[in-house]
Chains A and B, each alone.
Chain A
Amino acid sequence: MTTATTLRPADVDAARVWDVAARVPDPEIPVLSIADLGILRAARVEADGTAVVVITPTYSGCPAMGTITEDVGHALRADGYQNARVELVLQPAWTTDWITEEGRRRLEEYGIAPPSGASAVRQGPVLMGLSVKCPRCHSLNTRELTRFGSTACKALYSCRDCLEPFDYFKVH
């Protein structure tokens, strides 16, 4: 598993850059940091002192990436780094398996159902998911209204028990 805990650099200077970036919230889900979401992939300090942070997009067309790039830059400058750079990598492709336990818990508190299982075990031609739990009343009696939702990474569900609609973070 390449979660945030295992990715944090061992090198002290690089780890400091990582920790600054790890506090940047996702602009669309402000209760989560980019580290919680698995968007933050690496951090390092180059020979000339430039702080480099590496992020990966959740989906190719994710409009939040621009904002995240800027926010990370601001955070690094505020922390005293004169020169900073944010790089985007595509491979390995982001997966919901990289969302931390803490991240999943906060998603649910925020009213978004976390991914219902691991991407790594999903196989076959038909996209199947496990039951999705309503973040409001915790019922499993829910249904998918549309697989495409308010953002690329979410689907829209509704709960048959409390009747409320809610966002679901798709297994990806």
Chain B
Amino acid sequence: MSFASHDSATKISAGSAISAEEIAASGATAEPDVATYALYLGDDALMLAQRLGWWIARAPELEEDIALSNIALDQLGHARFLLTYAGTAWGKTEDDLAYFRDEEEFRSCRLVEQENGDFGQTIARQLIFSYYQHELFRRLVDSNDATLSAIADKALKEVQYHQDHAAQWVLRLGIGTPESHERMQKGLYYLWPYVDELFHDDDLTRDLSERGIAVLPSSLRADFDRRIAELLAEAELEVPDLPGAWGGDRSGEFSEHRGHILAEMQVLARQHPGATW
């Protein structure tokens, strides 16, 4: 019997399911560089899922508990696909990568590690990240790498819901009351220094994008800026004009928050190795 374990998404194949030959040929294994790129994207999704999960039972209304937890679940799904794929390069499972790496081995950006703050700050973070993800996946669908292309194709539709949800709240809070307007604006100011890192090119992304595998992060910036500016104008909010925070180049340098996130996320797996639900 070779069923994929019920608690692991490890049996992923890419490509069209219409042709048996294509499926048979898709014992996809990532080369180390592609695996590291998958970690960039997968770790972002994992950290954000963990952050959003905190809101369950704490959001301003029940519907928002459900919305934020649904968004977290989607992000966790993306993380599982991406980490599973990354793991094929090193003979590791999604769980090995999520629970048994240390702070400096993660490749997530600082934006997704920032604290939830108040609801305005959480929505600001969601807006920035969803708009970035939308631009990213829209292009990654055309990747030469069949697995990355398939993951992007799947994720894109879900991210459309996420960005729409964030945008609706930005409009509601921006035009709402003086209090909601101020908090929404503060959330954007607080997080804006972490925006640059999303669009930072490094040797890895430059090389992989030249080979048609990755999307060059800087190439997403113009569309992101334009769409954010349109939305914030409609919400009567300012686009912050702030310099980017120091560091943040995906090299493994991490924000002060990462360790706290991992402590909570990894404690069970490390105290009880092999535990399953």
Q: With A and B bound together, what is the CA distance between A69 and B6 in angstroms?
A: 7
Q: Which residues on B sit within 8 Å (CB–CB) of A52? A: 20, 23
B153 interface neighbour in A61, A66, A90, Cβ under 8 Å: A90
Q: Which residues on A sit within 8 Å (CB–CB) of B157? A: 93, 172
Chain B CB within 8 A of A92 CB: yes
Q: Which residues on A sit within 8 Å (CB–CB) of B80? A: 60-61
B100 vs chain A, min Cβ distance (A): 22
- Residue from B9, B149, B154, B158 having most chain A Cβ neighbours under 10 A: B154
A42 touches B23 (CB 8 A): yes
Q: Label chain B's interface by main secondary structure.
A: helix
B17 touches A60 (CB 8 A): no
Q: With A and B bound together, what is the CA distance between A59 and B73 in angstroms?
A: 9
Q: Which residues on A sit within 8 Å (CB–CB) of B75? A: 61
B70 touches A86 (CB 8 A): no
A147 touches B17 (CB 8 A): no
Proximity string of chain B (139-151) to chain A, C-beta cutoff 8 Å, 1 when within and 0 when not: 0000000100111
Q: With A and B bound together, what is the CA distance between A46 and B229 in angstroms?
A: 54
Chain B CB within 8 A of A140 CB: no
Q: Which residues on B sit within 8 Å (CB–CB) of A91? A: 14-17, 146, 149-150, 153-154
Q: With A and B bound together, what is the CA distance between A156 and B76 in angstroms?
A: 22
Chain B CB within 8 A of A114 CB: no
Chain A CB within 8 A of B203 CB: no
Chain B CB within 8 A of A133 CB: no
Q: How large is the interface on B (under 10, 10 to 19, 20 to 34, 35 or more residues)?
A: 35 or more
Q: Which residues on B sit within 8 Å (CB–CB) of A90? A: 12, 14, 81, 150-151, 153-154
Chain A CB within 8 A of B4 CB: yes
A61 touches B74 (CB 8 A): yes
Within 8 A of B (CB), among A65-98: 65-67, 69-70, 73, 83-94
A54 interface neighbour in B17, B70, B74, B165, Cβ under 8 Å: B17
Please list the residues of chain A having a beta carbon within 8 angstroms of any beta carbon in chain B: 2, 7, 41-42, 44, 52, 54, 56-57, 59-63, 65-67, 69-70, 73, 83-94, 126-127, 145-150, 152, 156, 172
Q: In the A-B complex, list the 8 residue pairs whose CB atoms are closest, starting with the nearest.
A: A60-B77, A61-B77, A41-B17, A146-B63, A91-B150, A61-B73, A90-B150, A148-B70
Sample 13 A-B pairs with CB under 8 A, ordered by A number. Answer: A42-B20, A59-B158, A60-B74, A61-B76, A67-B6, A69-B3, A88-B4, A88-B12, A91-B149, A127-B160, A147-B161, A152-B73, A152-B74
